[in-house]
Amino acid sequence: MDSQSKALIAGVFFGVWPLLMQRSGLGGNVSSLAFAVLVALCVSPFALSNIGDLSSVKWAFVVGAGIAGAVGILSFNGMLAKATPTNVSTLFVLMIVTQTAIPAVYGVIMNGGKVSLTRLVGFALAFASAILLTKGD
Average pLDDT over residues 83-100: 86
Residue 60: predicted pLDDT: 97
Domain boundaries, the chain: 1-83, 85-137
Cα distance between residue 6 and residue 73, in whole Å: 22
Mean pLDDT of the chain: 91
Cα distance between residue 98 and residue 105, in whole Å: 11
Cα distance between residue 86 and residue 8, in whole Å: 26
The answer on pLDDT for 26 being more than 80 is yes
Q: Which CA distances in Å does 81 have to 6, 43, 85?
A: 28, 25, 11
Contacts of 70 (CB under 8 A, 6+ apart): 32
Residue 137: predicted pLDDT: 55
Question: What are 38-60's pLDDT values in tens digits?
Answer: 999 999 999 998 888 888 999 99
Residue 126: predicted pLDDT: 87
